[in-house]
Amino acid sequence: MARIFYDCEFIEDGTTIDLISLGAVDEQGREFYAISRAFDPMKAGPWVRKNVLDKLPPSSDPAWCSRLQLREDFYAFVTAGPGEVELWAWNAPYDHVVVAQLWGAMPDLPRALPRYTRDLRQRWEDVGRPELPPAPPDAHDALADARHNLVKWKVVDAIWRERMGDPE
């Protein structure tokens, strides 16, 4: 089972979730990062402007791409290995919806992609909310947050395995 930890930054207004950026890492050290050229920065609220948009690299950076390119590259990243994949995110519901919307409606999501994202925060709560490493200085950058999700996973999974009597 391959685990991929990811994070999305997005603009949401209670009706629409608009993807800004997507970062992902796997347990083997592969990384993915892309920024959509399709979002409208004028729709971002003050918090997103300050904590997300102000941290994005210049639009000349190769991470900026079309939604189609982002979708195709993320799909290639997720399906690059053999076997099934688990997707993990902190507060996963929004992240899963924004990723699924890259393909349109949920039924259009390719069969190779999971139909849900596992919620790392829920697993953390299940094991008693242990202390986690502090957020990185570049928090709210999708790739930095994906990396931090992997770090949090290692803490949480060690406790989970200990409780389940599973050494590995």
Give the integer Cα–Cα distance in Å for 66 and 25.
Answer: 21
Count of domains in the chain?
A: 1
Does the CA dihedral 122-144-141-88 come out positive or negative? negative
Residues of 73-91 as b/e, b for ≥16 C-beta within 10 angstroms?
ebbebbeeeeeebebbbbe
CATH number at residue 50: 3.30.420.10
The Cβ-side half-sphere exposure at 87, using a 13 Å CA radius, reads 26
Contact 145, 134 (CB under 8 A): no
Q: Which domain holds residue 91?
A: 2-164
Q: Compute how many other C-beta atoms are within 10 angstroms of the C-beta atom of residue 17.
A: 15
Give the integer Cα–Cα distance in Å for 150 and 2.
Answer: 13
7 is in an annotated binding site: yes
At 167, the pLDDT band (50, 70, 90 cuts) reads low
pLDDT in tens, 31-67: 999 999 999 999 999 999 999 999 999 999 999 999 9
pLDDT in tens, 102-122: 999 888 999 999 999 999 999
The pLDDT assigned to 121 comes to 97
Give the integer Cα–Cα distance in Å for 47 and 156.
Answer: 29
